[in-house]
């Protein structure tokens, strides 16, 4: 469970369902305390309040984990549009660092500091960003940078700071693999960015994904989600080494094909 945000205003910004959940437990605690008269009512309300906070936090954490595993509409308070996706991308890049120079805890602090320097809300959202980052590190094996970058772009489009966010994420990359991923993320978020070296040619992306050239954006995205889950290296632990290598190469082809279609 993540700690409560440091910004006290965050807890006042809740969805109606969460507020009702908290009210229910406060009321339940008060009713349960009636049998003990006035002292019992007070104790019951206090205990009900804290129990409601715990339940609401657990529900919020579950919604965040679901978003990180499958980016889409967010059902939790973000503080800033795209903050959760930014933190997840930062956690993804830091988890790919070689050698790994930061622990997950230190990485969460690093990401939160970066978020505080580039998002308009500044230091007000660093506590929330740390919370998002800790959850993202716990889900690092399941993070999909392609879909997270797309989600971040969708939330920040029109706000004029995507190039700034992209540059900050790029600064978190350490090591060859992390830098390769960071270049893609930066190119996706900031079309004006030119990588120092051209990417290798990608095999016919429509053929790799098995979709027609007239396929809609949603069809391409859903096909990529399905194939990425099927061929992801972390899901091939039961195969022999040669088969794992084959599926890993297939996963890279699928990922690069999706990136090429996204770029176009």
pLDDT tens-digit map of 44-80: 555 655 655 666 677 888 889 989 988 888 788 888 9
What is the reported pLDDT for 151? Answer: 92
127: number of Cβ within 10 Å: 19
- Could you tell me if 47 and 89 lie in one domain? no
- Could you tell me if 182 and 215 lie in one domain? no
Residue 241 pLDDT more than 50? yes
- Judged on CB neighbours under 10 Å (0-12, 13-18, 19+), 170 is buried
Helix axis angle for 241-263 and 217-231, nearest 10°, is 160
What is the reported pLDDT for 204? Answer: 75
Q: What angle do CA 100, 106, 112 make, to 5 degrees?
A: 120
- 163, 189, 215 — which closes off a domain? 189
- Could you tell me if 114 and 87 lie in one domain? yes
- What is the C-alpha separation between 143 and 96, in angstroms, rounded? 11
What is the reported pLDDT for 28? Answer: 57
Give the range of the structural domain holding residue 54, as residue numbers without chain letter.
10-69
Residue 2 lies in a domain: no
Cβ atoms of 50 and 57 within 8 Å: the answer is no
- What is the C-alpha separation between 263 and 225, in angstroms, rounded? 17
- Could you tell me if 87 and 185 lie in one domain? yes
Q: Is the preceding peptide bond at 78 cis, omega within 30 degrees of 0? A: no
What is the reported pLDDT for 20? Answer: 57
- What is the C-alpha separation between 127 and 146, in angstroms, rounded? 26
Number of domains making up the chain: 3
Residue 197 lies in a domain: no
* Residue 248 CB contacts under 8 Å (≥ 6 apart), including other chains: 231, 233, 236
Please give the average per-residue pLDDT across 87-100, as a whole number: 89
pTM of the model: 0.61
253: number of Cβ within 10 Å: 17
- Could you tell me if 256 and 212 lie in one domain? yes
Q: Calculate the average pLDDT of the chain.
A: 76
- Could you tell me if 165 and 209 lie in one domain? no
Q: Which of 80, 78, 71, 76 is nearest to 58 (CA)?
A: 76
Residue 196 lies in a domain: no
Residue 32 pLDDT more than 60? no
- Could you tell me if 20 and 90 lie in one domain? no
């Amino acid at each position: 469970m993540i700690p409560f945000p440091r910004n006290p205003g965050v807890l006042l910004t809740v969805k109606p369902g969460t507020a009702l959940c908290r009210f229910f437990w406060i009321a339940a605690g008060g009713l349960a305390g009636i049998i003990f008269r006035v002292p019992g009512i007070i104790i019951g309300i206090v205990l009900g309040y804290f129990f409601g906070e715990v339940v609401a936090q657990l529900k919020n954490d579950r919604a965040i984990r679901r978003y990180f595993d499958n980016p889409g509409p967010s059902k939790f308070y973000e503080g800033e549009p795209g903050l959760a996706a930014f933190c997840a991308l930062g956690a993804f890049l830091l988890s790919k660092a070689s050698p790994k120079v930061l622990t997950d805890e230190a990485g969460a602090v690093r990401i939160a500091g970066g978020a505080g320097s580039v998002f308009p809300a500044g230091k007000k959202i660093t506590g929330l960003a740390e919370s998002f980052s800790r959850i993202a590190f716990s889900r690092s094996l399941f993070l999909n940078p392609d879909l997270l970058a797309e989600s971040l772009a969708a939330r920040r489009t029109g706000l004029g700071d995507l190039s700034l966010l992209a540059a900050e994420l790029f600064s978190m990359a350490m090591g060859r693999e992390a830098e390769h991923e960071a270049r893609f993320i930066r190119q996706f978020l900031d079309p004006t960015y030119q990588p120092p070296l051209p990417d290798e040619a990608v095999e016919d992306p429509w053929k790799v994904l098995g979709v027609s050239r007239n396929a809609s954006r949603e069809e391409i995205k859903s096909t990529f989600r399905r194939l990425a889950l099927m061929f992801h290296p972390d899901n091939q632990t039961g195969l022999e080494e040669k088969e794992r290598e084959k599926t890993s190469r297939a996963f890279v082809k699928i990922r690069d094909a999706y990136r090429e279609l996204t770029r176009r």
